[in-house]
Chains A and B, each alone.
Chain A
Amino acid sequence: MSEVRLTLRQAPSVALEAPCVRPDAFATLSEAAIARLPVEHGREVVALGEFFDVRGEHADQVRVEGDVRRVKRLGAGMIGGSLIVAGSAGRHTGAGMSGGSLVVEGDADDWTGLGMRGGRLVVHGNAAAAFCGAAPGSSRGMTGGLAFVRGSVGVRVGERLRRGVIAVGGSAGAYAGAHMVAGTLVVRGALGPGAGIGLKRGSIVAGGALELLPTFRYACRYRPGYVDLLFASLERHGFDVGAMAAGAFDRFGGDHADLGRGEILKWTAS
């Protein structure tokens, strides 16, 4: 099985825009052609090979090594193949991806998975702000696929989520699932203030503490069937749902300041 390996040779002095790093694109390129792909280092357009040692060709399995926290848009728009960032990744990693598998073994920065449309995105560490969020002005954020973070996420995870599943192993910052249109956001840990603000439809499954907005209204305590389907799917993809595998949920409908057809399911052990 062949693989393309990019190893950061020279640290960029300012942010490096590298949306050309896409496994589906690499599948048809030679080593030299990959090294010639343009990246923007500040105002200069330079070759990818200036910053990375490129090893391998004609493969849609890509591994990126070295400290690439300043490298932005890795895997942005990817439609297939596999991209593994061996450490922590820069901003906008996997933004707009519509297929394939993207794994960040370290932490992910702001806007990772922004406007994601499909595929699978996994972060082993923590993710910063607007994980799987929405582009400015767009009426929809993530529209498909599965994304999960083993650690915690920053503010506004899953903003304007339209379809797809986002799961967080740790806690989430303020305004988790803001203005969700549909889809499902699972957070095992605590949620920051304002969770579900403007929720139109869709579900927020909350494993930890959260302070509900006044425009959510209590419905009942139960364990809806789809939760087990969802958890089974998450477990299959390698996400541990922990104690939520058993127990019940308190259902709160809202946000009644908006359309109000969404739900927050708050886990309870009993």
Chain B
Amino acid sequence: METAIFWGLSFCAVAAALAVVFLRQAVNGVMSLLALMLVMAGLYLLLGAQLVALFQLIVYAGAVLVLFVLVVMLLNLERKPARPLLYPGKPAVASLLALCGAGFAAILRWAPPPGGGPMGGAVKPAPPIEQLAIDLFTERLLIFELTSVLLLAAAVGAIVMSRKAGDLS
């Protein structure tokens, strides 16, 4: 059953990612990305990471993508005639890169596990959410604080950038 869900979700994820890349209209791309986010949330659940799945929905799907939609609407990108966004010859490059990814994955899959590494199956128990919180605020306190600095800098940057050119603040 799990295997079937995995393959189903994988198929959806790849399809959604390809849709982002190949759909002409930006808004369709954003919607496909939304689909990808949802599928990812499913995958996280499959991996026993419920909290991550939750955040994926709230932060990504809820906040980030809404921002994208907003910008796409704001800039009225839809009204532009749909110019060919795909360059002839470039699919070759794309497939090459995709092949690299697939090849790399294949290597990981079939390469002899050095020193008898884990081949899967031996799943670590999903940690309690409480443990995550403790980790985050003890061992990983610094990165938590740093993300707040990052967000502050990003906020300042975003404000500077989106203000009209001649504006004084």
Query: Do the two shown chains form a genuine complex with each other?
Result: no
Question: Chain B residues in contact with chain A, CB under 8 A?
Answer: none
Which residues of A come within 8 Å of B, CB atoms?
Answer: none
